[in-house]
Structure 1
Amino acid sequence: MLSAFQATAILAFASSVLAAPAQVCNDATYPTQIRLAYSNDRAMAVSWNTKIKMTKPTVAWGPDTHMRDSADSDVSTTYQSSTTWNNHVVIEGLNPDTKYYYSPECGNVTYTFTTARTEGRGTPYQFAMIGDMGTFGPDGLSTTVGKGAANPLAPGDLTTIQSLSARIDDFDLVWHVGDIAYADAWLKEENGGYAAPLNTSDFGMEYEKILNDFYVEIQPISAVKPYMVAVGNHEANCDNGANFTICPQGQLNFTGYRAHWNMPFYKSGGLENFWYSWNHGMVHYITFNTETDFLNAPDQPGGEGVEDAGPFAPFGAQLAWLKADLAAVDRKRTPWVIAAGHRPWYVSTTEYIECQVAFEPLLLEYGVDLVLHGHKHFYERHSAIDNGTAQDLNNPTAPWYIVNGAAGHYDGLDTPTLPLVPTSRDIIVAYGWSLFTVHNCTHLTTEFIASGNNTILDTATLYKDRTCALN
């Protein structure tokens, strides 16, 4: 049986000439927090928030600024304690790798997006990866931090959002691998004297303020580049997993995460925004869920048992989906397979062995090339690894692992455990993000970009000896 979120998300989306009833436009219907997501190479998901429910969310679009076409849906949804409504529309009938103009209704700004490259398209491109990024400024990371936090920004440093914005033309998409906004840190910030309580009788207000501020802050990126996401532990509940009794119902069980995003699970047979895949040129991308829905997951008593969330599918469903998805990949057309899940199992601090047991066998069996993680607030590039045994990057048979949870949030950066694990090849404790270049069928390069000044602090290239059928 479909969940309410699934049923809402897979409603039939209509594309037509502007024919929907006109929405009364005012401050309450003005679109904010605009964000894109790939649907497939001929469709793009557009999401935005309003202060009230939209009768029929509509997006004007076209190949030029005239935007003579429109797409609409019936999806305008909210949840208990939310101060906004989430509107989701999928624009279909597009051409691959093509620039379009669009504008959500009741807005006065025109944006652009470029659709995904067709599967098998062999032209090189770049994508950005971030992990563990919250707000910046008054309710997040800034040049000051509260009690118990560390590593403030230096005066004059760019934030990760500013760094990404400065290089917006260099990458096709952003992949945020879990821990989005850190709204659940509101009580910790208040207790540390960093944020003043907004209303001690309504614990939902500070959470919603941080959440809304984050989506506004990323809009310069997410309104023009697909912003793909994976779920992290800080999406689970409103209070860092410590005291669920203070959480309003709408701030439990990944509710905000489920409502805000519209990932292409319905195109790939996945589940909501938890696990899904998509193709873009030479790469098959997979997002998996390290928080729920596998044996000893953090939501289960045998795991950390601290999230009080999930499961969202029958036992075994996620791994069955992952196996089927990997088995169906045409490696001649999409030679690169890149997977991302929040918690790492190769890292120089606490390793999440339950995740390794669940996911690593399938990643090895089907020859996944690269695995990306966040969760730990530093950057660590590993070798390719087969069950703990390191391989170099010259045609390895095992996945290459990179951990990058250094995008920045209120609590600052982490300190790796010494000595470093044997598979570690470089580690950097600095705010930053990863830029990947897919050169061709055989070569893929990573660069770690220091957010503060956009300098490159680490780079490495993976080589695979293979022949592909690209165009």
Structure 2
Amino acid sequence: MYSLFALANLLLSLGTGIAALPSISHVRVPDNSLEPVQIRLAYAGTTGMYISWNTFSYLSNPSVRYGFSPDALYFYASSDTSVTYPTSLTYNNHVKITGLEPNTVYYYQPIFSNSSAIYSFKTGRVAGDPTPYTTAVVVDLGLIGPEGLSTTVGKGAANPLGPNDTNTIQSLMASEDWEFLWHPGDIAYADYWLKEEIQQYIPNTTIAEGYTVYESLLNQFYDEMTPITAAKPWMVGPGNHEANCDNGGTTDKTNNITYTVSICMPGQTNFTGFINHFRMPSEESGGTGNFWYSFDHGMVHYVQFNTETDLGDGLTGPDEVNGTDGEDSGPFGRFKQAQLDWLEYDLQSVDRSKTPWVIAAGHRPWYISGANCTECQEAFEPVFAKYKVDLILSGHVHLYERNAPVNNSVVDPNELNNPTFPWYITNGAAGHYDGLDTLVYPLMNYSRKAFDTAYGWSRLTFHNCTHMTHEFVASANGTILDTATLYKDRTCSSFGW
């Protein structure tokens, strides 16, 4: 579409100026720029909730009404947090509600007008609540609307939906028995905008107006997610597509001169959009931003860790190039060992008499039949093994692979019958425009089940203190493609159950 030399000259001529906004296709732009859109929730501890939404104009005092009945929104919370960044089309508004009753349904309304929609949420379960429950996990989930994953794809893309297939967002909405959605990285894939243009899936634009395409795709995705995220907490973590954009870092040699062309917009670099859009319970757990944090929910302690930056001494990031982090992002900790020190402290502080299950999630896998993240393994595996984390979830590779419990590449001889080692599952098959990856054969010795032909998501069910089940749900029709139950030899009565 453009030569790299021409791109470089064009970028230099653009400077820092931003062109006037063209029309934004497929994005719902309300008549009133203060109307709430893209509504989303996140736990703020067991007795708190973050309520976030976007507006097309700045709010000086984002506010929420809430209460126990849609007809009695007698309580009020507000903040001064209405943030944006250069090139963003919207403002991100965040209000934290505290002092709520656990495991209780509340109704809420971001204040705009008396006729605004009223939503509801359910607060978290207290640590130690032995009630069985289910949660949902997606990784690598992108836009599934008019300009995303669909029954047709552009040249060079792969794996479109079948004509009668349900997509992952629709599948999640059809199976609402889960209590919250966990999304450890790669959210929306709006950074594929240039790739989609080159592959003739969306219309071409100028580089000067490229940011509007990026922001349009991002806003479409958040609009698509709103029916889910306005009702269920959406707990997110960082992935490589939040760190940087797929369009940057290309080089070209012309007249023996090397040009590096970057058309990454401000919202695409250094997790900018991710930092602005979400609020996670790092303050409540001693973590850092949306990058690493933890929370309790019933009989489970959940840990979100960051495989993209802050891996510790000598490990600047998994995409390091010539001594420089290839994603040009982070660090976000105040010192090199910040994340690992926090992780050690968090895991050693878990009260397993209340939360016998400990589940961790990070974006990149290190046990996978293909390219793995050796830096991640070096940084995180020792501490997860030391504190006997039960299950570690990842994505990044766009397929499904369930492994045996393993440590230091050695399979636990007990497999899923009271293993000592952590259990590893990779499920990056939620789906986006670029399709699924292909399995690398032969599969590794620790691999137990793998699929590379179906979009899907993970369903985790915690039955009691000794049994939990993982299912791979096919988005197309809701069938269960794989199921496995982990058993831990514990006496539930010793937990006061």
Specify the TM-score bucket, using the shorter chain as the normaliser.
Answer: over 0.9
SS in structure 2 at match of 1:257: helix
2:326 pairs, out of 299, 306, 315, with 306
Aligned to 1:425: 448
**Matching residue of 2:22:** none
Q: Aligned partner of 1:71: which letter?
A: A
Q: Distance in 1 between matches of 2:375 and 2:136?
A: 27
Tell me the amino acid that sits aligned with residue 352 of structure 2. R
Deviations 1:369-409 (A, max 9, x none): 00000101111111111211112000001111110000000
**Structure 2 residues not aligned, in runs of 5+:** 1-29, 251-260
Answering whether residue 336 of structure 2 is matched by residue 315 of structure 1, we say yes
Is 1:469 paired with 2:495? yes
Aligned mate of 2:75, from 66, 69, 72: 69
Aligned position for 2:137: 129
SS at match of 1:250: helix
Which among 148, 172, 177 is matched to residue 184 of structure 2? 177
Which is greater in Rg? 2
Q: Percent same amino acid among aligned pairs?
A: 56
Q: Give deviations 1:146-169, integer Å, cap 9, x for gaps.
A: 12111000002111000000112x
Moved more, 306-315 or 320-329: 306-315
Residue aligning to 1:5:
none
For 1:217 and 1:109, the matched residues in 2 are separated by: 17
Question: Which amino acid letter does the alignment assign opposite residue 155 of structure 1?
Answer: P
Report deviation, 1:201: 2.0
Residues 234 and 240, structure 1, Cα contact 8 Å, conserved in 2: no
Once residues 304 and 465 of structure 1 are traced to their aligned partners in structure 2, the CA distance between those partners, rounded to angstroms, is 45
Query: Hey, which bits of structure 1, 4+ residues long, moved more than 6 A?
Result: none
Give the Cα–Cα distance (whole angstroms) in 1 for the partners of residues 142 and 411 of structure 2. Answer: 33
Structure 1, 262-271 or 296-305: larger mean CA deviation: 296-305
Does 2:427 align with 1:410?
no
Out of 261, 270, 276, the residue aligned to residue 278 of structure 2 is 261
Q: How many residues align?
A: 446
TM-score by length of 2: 0.88
Asked if 1 retains the 8 angstrom alpha-carbon contact of 2:248 and 2:262, the reply is: no
Q: Determine the C-alpha separation between the residues in 1 that align with 2:381 and 2:247.
A: 27
Q: CA deviation at 1:199?
A: 4.0
Match of 2:240 among 230, 233, 241: 233
TM-score (normalised: structure 1): 0.92
Q: Paired residue for 2:409?
A: 388
Matches within 5 A, 1:286-435: 286-294=303-311, 295-298=315-318, 300-301=320-321, 305-313=325-333, 314-391=335-412, 392-429=415-452, 430-435=454-459
Partner of 2:101: 95
Q: How far, CA to CA, are the matches of 2:51 and 2:338 in structure 1? A: 28
1:241-281 deviations in Å (ceiling 9; x for gaps): 53472123333101000110000001111110000000000
**Matched residue type, 1:229:** V
Offset at 1:225? 0.5
Deviation, 1:223, is 0.6
Is the Cα contact below 8 Å between 1:299 and 1:309 reproduced in 2? Answer: no
SS at match of 1:458: strand
Q: 1:296 Cα deviation (Å)?
A: 4.4
Shift of 1:54: 0.7
The 2-side partners of 1:249 and 1:438 are apart by 41
Structure 1: gaps (5+ residues) = 1-24
| Residues 122 and 262 of structure 1, relative CA distance in 2, 3 Å threshold | same
CA RMSD across the alignment: 1.5
Checking the alignment, whether the CA contact within 8 Å between 1:47 and 1:86 is kept in structure 2 is yes
| Cα displacement (A) at 1:239 | 3.1
Q: What is the alpha-carbon distance in structure 2 between the residues aligned to residue 376 and residue 343 of structure 1? A: 8
Query: Following the alignment from structure 1 to structure 2, what is the Cα–Cα distance between the partners of residues 433 and 461?
Result: 16
Partner of 1:14: none
- 2:249 — aligned with what? 242
